[in-house]
A and B are shown apart, each in its own frame.
Chain A
Amino acid sequence: MNLAMVDGGFAEPVFGSQRAFRALMDAFARPGSVADLSGLVLPPAPMSPAAGAVLLALADGDTPVFFETDMPDAKAWVAFHTGATATTEAQAARFVHLGETGDCTGWSRFAVGTAEYPDRSATLLLPLEALRGGRRLILSGPGIETTTEIAPQGLGAGFLDVMAANRAGFPLGFDLVLVSGGEALALPRTTHIQEA
């Protein structure tokens, strides 16, 4: 048996998942703020601790997870700790672990909900090199008093166009969480993103 899939879960599942959720809830409530999810879980590479904490806190048998790139160890780890099935059907996925390929145009294939139930939409986790020190972007929308700035590194070409289209479809849309190392930054569908 591969022990990599067993190790690295929450040391205290009840309190670890609560901490991860609260940090993520604050991140969703205040887009642009960076949530600290470090020190909670240690998933097999190439999955980041932040992405691992989000999935272990929120995924279970009711939420199929889609892996855009092949990461067998991390996939087995998520399956072992959450019981979530890995799906290859984009529309069925509630959580999506995107690849670092930089291609954003394919994101539109994931569920955005329906007019009656816009909540039946995917939450996408986008692994990046860093959440700071990149090209400056200006955010506005619910959760932000006036405007706020982020500067993630490694966003793909066409990112702003894809996010603008996602915003325009409100209340339908996916919700995006940028993850890097132990940090996460949420960009829910309500957030306007502009170049600085």
Chain B
Amino acid sequence: MTLPAYNFAYLDEQTKRMIRRAILKGIAIPGYQVPFASREMPMPYGWGTGGVQVTAAILGPDDVLKVIDQGADDTTNAVSIRAFFAKTANVATTTKTADATIIQTRHRIPEEKLKAHQTIVFQVPIPEPLRFLEPRETETRVMHGLEEYGLVHVKLYEDIAQHGHIATTYAYPVKVEGRYVMDPSPIPKFDNPKLDRSPALQLFGAGREKRIYALPPFTQVTSLDFEDHPFAVQTFSRPCALCNATGVYMDEVVTDDRGGRMFVCSDTDNCETRQADGHKGPGLPQLGGSAPTARETAR
């Protein structure tokens, strides 16, 4: 008999219990950051160790795991985390959003609407939305306790004063059920509306900062804004060059050294599914040779 070199899903059972207790309290207090004893993982902090620990704590042998990095299933972070769980937990993996029971994500929410049986796990670098406004943890704890969120609005107001509009485009702060202000992780603000009343359970793990937080299904999540400067998502002036999709979040891809570039879906699964269904975009070159005449992305 050979003994396994490590436990199922890498983490030891006591660590999983500690993380599981934090997850339950996080669900019971939506948007509140629960401290947890984050472990060293076989990857550096900043590579999604928070998300990996949350996934390891909830993962079972019957789960189907999808991992995305900026919407893509085939980038380094996504491939290595998927391989990590395929090896340590022997779980099935997929790139299809609809087939996954657990989706670990770095900075995107899939375009396809999530369903009730799915859990999405966000990798979070800085969980504290007040951190760049108030560096002391003792103070931000009190501010959350007293619901003292004026500073966040000052920050958004300063955006307007300097740029004429709210210039925050990612990690856009949200208010959860009218109580806690929460950092939704560096997802583009394009994805903020997907957080609101999502049928899927949403869990957030920050490994270096040692925090876990959660949004239960059907939780009200409002992006902060002003009456005269309402929240608005990015829009794109042209469709995906590969699948012709509109109303999705795009990546700008530089295609040569003369200003040539194209806009393609950030969500690779969505793009590939559409291409397989026969949708075809204008392809290359979408833009090229000269400087762009108009801003491609709205603010």
Report A-chain residues with C-beta under 8 Å of the C-beta of B14: 60
Q: Is A183 an interface residue (CB 8 A)?
A: no
Using a CB-CB cutoff of 8 Å, which residues 13-67 of chain B contact chain A?
Answer: 13-14, 16-18, 20-30, 32, 34-35, 57-61
Q: Is A134 an interface residue (CB 8 A)?
A: no
Contact B29 A28 (CB under 8 A): no
Chain A 77-119 interface mask (CB, 8 Å, partner B; 1/0): 0000000000000000010000000000000000000111111
Using a CB-CB cutoff of 8 Å, which residues 18-46 of chain A contact chain B?
Answer: 18-19, 21-22, 24-26, 28-30
Contact B17 A17 (CB under 8 A): yes
Q: Is B229 an interface residue (CB 8 A)?
A: no
Contact of B30 among A19, A59, A144, A190 (CB under 8 A): A190
Q: Is A189 an interface residue (CB 8 A)?
A: yes
* Chain B residues close to A by CB (< 8 Å): 7-8, 13-14, 16-18, 20-30, 32, 34-35, 57-61, 141-142, 144-146, 177, 179-180, 197, 199, 201, 215-220
Q: Is A142 an interface residue (CB 8 A)?
A: yes
Contact B58 A188 (CB under 8 A): no
Report A-chain residues with C-beta under 8 Å of the C-beta of B220: 142
> Among the interface residues A14, A22, A29, which one has the most CB atoms of the partner chain B within 10 A?
A29
**Cα distance, A108 to B20, chains bound together (Å):** 25
Contact of A25 among B13, B24, B30, B215 (CB under 8 A): B24
Contact B13 A21 (CB under 8 A): no
Contact of A15 among B27, B28, B61, B142 (CB under 8 A): B61
Q: Is A170 an interface residue (CB 8 A)?
A: yes
**Cα distance, A30 to B199, chains bound together (Å):** 10
**Cα distance, A190 to B146, chains bound together (Å):** 18
In the assembled complex, the CB of A75 is this many whole angstroms from the nearest CB of chain B, namely: 19
Q: Is A195 an interface residue (CB 8 A)?
A: no
Contact B60 A190 (CB under 8 A): no
Residue of A nearest to B140 (CB): A116
Report B-chain residues with C-beta under 8 Å of the C-beta of A58: 17, 20-21, 24
Residue of B nearest to A123 (CB): B24
